[in-house]
Amino acid sequence: MISKAHTVWPGKPYPQGATWDGEGVNFALFSEHADKVELCLFDVRGHREIERIVMPEQTDRVWHCYLPEARPGLLYGYRVYGPYQPERGHRFNPNKLLLDPYAKSLQGRLRWHDAHFGYKIGAKREDLSFDWRDNAVLMPKSEVVDPRFDWGDDRPPAIAWNDSIIYELHVKGFTHLHPGVPEALRGTYAGLASPPVLEHLRRLGVTAVELMPIHGFVDDRMLVDKGLRNYWGYNSIGYFMPDRRYSGTGNPVNEFKAMVKALHGAGIEVILDVVYNHTAEGNQLGPTLCFRGIDNAAYYRLMPDNPRYYRDYTGCGNTLNMMHPRVLQLIMDSLRYWVQEMHVDGFRFDLAATLARELHEVDRLGAFFDIIHQDPILSQVKLIAEPWDVGEGGYQVGNFPVGWTEWNAKYRDAVRAYWKGEGGLIGDLASRLTGSSDLYAHNGRRPYASINFITAHDGFTLQDLVSYEKKLNEANGEKCQDGESNNLSWNCGKEGPSDDPEIVALRARQKRNFIATLFLSQGVPMLLAGDELGHTQNGNNNAYSQDNEISWMDWTLQPGDRAFLSFVCQMIDLRRKHPAFRRRSFFLQHHMRDGEKNILWFNPDGLEMSNAEWNQGFARCLGMYLAGDAIGEVDKHGNPVKDNDFLLLINAHHEPIPFQIPGFHSRTRWHVTIDTSDPNMLGPAKRYACGSIFLLQGRSLVLMQQPIQKKI
């Protein structure tokens, strides 16, 4: 602990944050418009402020000092002095203790109070007024950390994109009810690294976990007042820290590192869902916790004609100012920290279109993307964009640059609508099955640019997708006005839970249809955690505030859940074994021997689809042939990639359709590998000759194959 007779050295402006070098701690904080910055030190519990140190040096707008007696575990914060002129964009208020934007750890939690606001709550002038109350006792404190950790021989699994299978999960919700996880570790990073959880991930066969936000975040005051929490975590306030609420050991930094090491040991990559588009400080009426009090005009996009107000491309009140070089530096430093120090393997960027908004319009070649593209560290990790925001022109599916993959919402919508039974979609479905070349081929990207998904954290779970047509979000306390209303869902005949055997069987079939479609599509499949176990949120399609049984995964399997889990595992295993479903390049329709194409499309008469047939409004049935010896790619040893021939038959009509097996190989027989109408999941061993009739059941998918060596 620092004594009051402390020694203060000038220190250095880089790196920013609090950096322990083995002898002392360097403190550095950027503020372009500040007049003075104080470093505030606290007792070991963070309750009492014991020292204020005026930062003696400023270099290139970075305030800095070095405390030679400081040690890891020291708790601190900042007070920043400058003009309080909201109408000019400045909101300095030294009465508010501020978090370090580069803090690696926080001690304590935010306790909501009016004192956290830079203005006087209830004043007629609102945020133009000034609040003199000190909020330090109610604030969490930044903590100096010791970065040392024994990584051993840890190395990234480096899974190729086309071999990847992503599993989106919530750290707490995934393990909180798991009976095999020690109770003290449930809902934590350590719980996610526990043997029973790793065994489930191995059994599934996923190659990466995509963790919902674990950056330090804040529970919104509005939610806390309702007795709710910001369960999802899309409310960041600290971009360098793993949130302490998911720590079971009291050391979130090392616990997170140990989790990554364990997942890597199981061959599983770690991808973080990151929120660099906005912060937890909200709009002009929000609290002063960090960036707003350090330099509001630098960190946030303000309205040019009235900088009292914020540009809001996120729906969360503010937007980080990607046009400022220090904000870009903050984000890039954060990303590199998570790769180099925490060993994560990639990032999914929430509302990524916001990061491209250099001017009012989305700029596909914005500075952020240019910097990422040339960065020797970040250009080599997995980069996933949520390719939209809520601003004008914010829907940018297909428009991100080379090196980026995207959540493909057009895939989700097309597959949902097709299996719901809507007509006229077979052309769109064919594009989605083959990697969405219409979206990604134009700028040199590959099929794996498409992150295919049916469900995600935002929306219905898979069980609810086949059980509800209307959202039931009353638990959120927003009179069911929140969440998407157009879910493209179908309840199979009854809203909500049902004991009717026919409805139960139909829902199970529809779930198999969705899963089979997902894992037989070109691109990268993403599975929502819990879908394989029949997880339901009881119709809530926006459970962002539900830190309870609505969101937590129930590991008690209901009748039929074990069979469905087995089916999901079989589909993932089938995809892993067959390169025909995970191509690195788009289909080129090139010819192979005997004039045969590498992909063919068929109508139920066994004839190739004509141009007119693609646009028929009544069409709900389609056949797709993949030629296994015409993949046109080579393996890592330079050998041609070959596979079985496959015939995929899909029927979203409610009635069976006789489908004539195409006769282009008259002596070839096909055997059924998958039949989603079969309650035992796998089809019979019966073989079907070319030219024969296969009765394709209503609302079903069938996959047939031929061994490579038996092709004639």
User: Which residues are identified as catalytic?
Assistant: 350, 386
CA distance 328 to 347: 16
Written as six digits, the tokens of 25 are: 């701690």
Report the DSSP pairing between strands 346-349 and 382-385: parallel
| Identity of residue 313 | Y
3-state secondary structure of 687: strand
Cβ-based neighbours of 26, under 8 Å, separated by 6 or more = 11, 12, 15, 18, 19, 64, 65, 66
Written as six digits, the tokens of 389 are: 């925001």
Angle at 452 between CA 451 and CA 455, to 5 degrees: 115
CA distance 364 to 321: 16
Cα 568–chain centre separation: 21
List beta partners, residue 52: 40
The candidate with the shortest Cα–Cα distance to 279, out of 293, 262, 259, is 293
Determine which helix (DSSP H) or strand (DSSP E) holds 462, and give its type and residue range. helix 462-465
Q: Locate tokens 């179908």: which residue?
A: 490
**Is the CB of residue 522 less than 8 Å from the CB of residue 435?**
yes
The candidate with the shortest Cα–Cα distance to 335, out of 376, 394, 291, 386, is 376
CA distance 446 to 441: 6
Report the DSSP pairing between strands 645-651 and 621-626: antiparallel
Written as six digits, the tokens of 550 are: 């609505």
Cα 383–chain centre separation: 11
Cα 197–chain centre separation: 20
The candidate with the shortest Cα–Cα distance to 215, out of 317, 290, 294, 298, is 290
Report the DSSP pairing between strands 599-602 and 687-689: unpaired
Name the DSSP letter for residue 483: S
**Is the CB of residue 631 less than 8 Å from the CB of residue 641?**
yes
Angle at 149 between CA 145 and CA 155, to 5 degrees: 130
Name the DSSP letter for residue 514: H
Q: What is the dihedral of CA 603, 606, 611, 613, to 10 degrees?
A: -30
**Is the CB of residue 349 less than 8 Å from the CB of residue 366?**
no
**Is the CB of residue 363 less than 8 Å from the CB of residue 356?**
yes
Nearest-Å Rg of the Cα atoms of the chain is 28
CA distance 162 to 435: 11
Q: What is the 3-state secondary structure (H, E, C) of 342-401?
A: CCCCEEEECCHHHHHCCCCCCCCCCHHHHHHHHCCCHHHCEEEECCCCCCCCCCCCCCCC
CA distance 669 to 536: 41
From residue 29, how far is each of 34, 37, 152 by CA, in Å?
A: 11, 9, 33
3-state secondary structure of 18: strand
Cβ-based neighbours of 124, under 8 Å, separated by 6 or more = none
CA distance 110 to 90: 24
